[in-house]
Amino acid sequence: MKRVEDFMTSIPDFPKEGIIFRDVTSVLESAEGLHLAIDELNKLLDGLDYDLIAGTESRGFIFGAPLAYMNNKGFIPVRKKGKLPRETVEMSYDLEYGSATIEIHKDSIKPGDKVVLVDDLIATGGTIQAAAKLIEQLGGEVVKMIFLIELVDLKGREVLKGYDIESVIQYEGE
């Protein structure tokens, strides 16, 4: 039986020498790979009490929306600044080379909502930490963070101490 890892393509020296890029699009391009990925992420939610799933732009949408559908939950998009039409709250955070700002609709999270955050990858943890802060700022509780891929050596879990974090695939190295 195949595993999600069997559909992952690793590209050496991209975007720079010494980095191995883990290309999730090779999983998405295969019906079997995509099905396995969604099913494995869904297993991480077994027995969890939650109200909503939030996913970060853009691959968090790809994995989060089908999970919300499968579990009869609402889906909250966490978008780049300027992409949402209603009143928003925003959070800026640092990237390796620069900074970024994400936002969510101010009325999408109600006080007491239990939220699962989903993304394709956890590396340094900056994006998902900013998303968690937005949810908490609106009175929501982040009850779990799930990822298809975890780059262990980049220590995103350390940035996200105190959160329940699970990933389907773990890779050592950058």
**Distance between CA atoms of residues 27 and 121, nearest Å:** 13
Q: Among the options 17, 87, 96, 158, which is catalytic? A: 96
Residue 54: burial class (beta carbons within 10 Å; 0-12, 13-18, 19+): buried
- Tell me which of 59, 79, 103, 150 is the catalytic residue: 59
132 sits in the region (left: phi over 0; alpha: psi -120 to 50; else beta) called: alpha
Q: Is 96 annotated as catalytic?
A: yes
Q: Which two tokens stand for residue 142?
A: 């982040």
Active site residues: 59, 96
